[in-house]
Amino acid sequence: MLVDDHAVVRAGFRMLLSIDDTIEVIAEADRGEAACQLYLEKQPDVMVLDLSMPGIGGLETIRRICNREPQAKILVFSVHDERVYVDRAMTAGAKGYISKHAHPDILIAAIQAIAEDEVYVEPSLIRDNDAFSSKCLETRETDYKTLIDSLTAREFDVFLLLAKGFTAHRIADELCLGYKTVANYGTQIRSKFKVSSVAELAHIALISGVMKN
C-alpha cells in the first residue's frame, strides 16, 4: 500500500515496483486519515508511507495504525534524512526507514526485507556522524535495559507479551490473571518507560535485545 499526498510520486513508485513480480500495489492513499481506514480494509503486507502529508501527517498515521495493529509493517519513504526523523518514526512503530534520495533498488530491497519480518533502515541514515550521536544511542539502550531489569517477574512477563502484540484479554488467559490486573500492569509498565503505546514498548524490546524480530 502506497501513502503519499502527491499522485505523481505514487505513480512513480507504482511503476518502479511493477518491475518486481513479487510486489503488487493493492491500495493508495493521499493522507493519513484515509491510510488508517484503508489499512484496516486492505490489510497490506507492507505499507510504504511518506511523513510530510496534510492532515494528521505520517508520524501520527504510524502511531494510530500500530496502536490498532501492533504487527503492522510500515516502511517510511521520506525526503527527511535527519536522524531525529528516523528515531521518531521507529519509536512510533515503523519497521523501516529509507530516504527518497536513495537508489531505487533500495526501496524494493526494503519492502522485501520488511515483508520477511526484518527491520530495515537505510545504512547511510544510521551512521553515527559524531561521538555525541553514538553516545546518545548507547545511553538510550542502557537506560532501557536498566528499566527492564527493574521490572518485577510478572511485569516482565506482561511487558514481553504486550511487546509481541498480545491483547490484555489474551495476556490474562496466557498468564491466568484477571483482565483488570493485566490492564493495571500495562499502565504501570508504560508509566515506567514513559511511553503511551504498545508499538513503543515493542520498539524498546527490540532495541534492548530482549525480543527478536
Q: Quick one: 28 and 83 in the same domain?
A: yes
Q: Quick one: 35 and 115 in the same domain?
A: yes
* Per-residue pLDDT reduced to its tens digit, 65-108: 999 998 999 999 998 887 778 888 888 899 999 998 888 888 99
**What is the rounded CA–CA span in Å between residue 80 and residue 123?**
14
Q: Quick one: 40 and 135 in the same domain?
A: no
Percent of the chain with pLDDT over 90: 43
Q: Does 118 reside within a domain?
A: yes
Strand runs labelled E in 4-61:
28-29, 47-49
| pTM as predicted | 0.61
Q: Quick one: 168 and 99 in the same domain?
A: no
Domain residue limits at 79: 2-125
**What is the rounded CA–CA span in Å between residue 24 and residue 45?**
10
Nearest alpha-carbon partner for 63 in 180, 212, 213, 201: 201
Helix (H, G, I), strand (E, B) or coil at 166: coil
What was the pLDDT predicted at 140?
Answer: 59
- φ, ψ for residue 89, nearest 5 deg: -65, -45
- Number of compact structural domains in the chain: 2
Rounded average pLDDT over 13-38: 93
Q: Quick one: 68 and 99 in the same domain?
A: yes
What was the pLDDT predicted at 135?
Answer: 45
Q: Quick one: 118 and 152 in the same domain?
A: no
Q: Does 212 reside within a domain?
A: no
Q: Does 20 reside within a domain?
A: yes
* Per-residue pLDDT reduced to its tens digit, 122-169: 877 865 444 434 444 455 566 788 888 888 888 988 998 998 888 889
Helix (H, G, I), strand (E, B) or coil at 120: strand
* Cell numbers describing residue 104: 531505487
* Per-residue pLDDT reduced to its tens digit, 5-24: 999 999 999 999 998 889 99
Q: Does 213 reside within a domain?
A: no
CATH classification of the domain holding 140 = 3.40.50.2300
Residue at a domain's end among 125, 151, 184:
125
Q: Quick one: 112 and 178 in the same domain?
A: no
Question: 75 and 48 in contact (C-beta within 8 Å)?
Answer: yes
Q: Quick one: 93 and 186 in the same domain?
A: no
Q: Quick one: 42 and 68 in the same domain?
A: yes
Rounded average pLDDT over 203-208: 82
Strand partners, 75: 48, 96
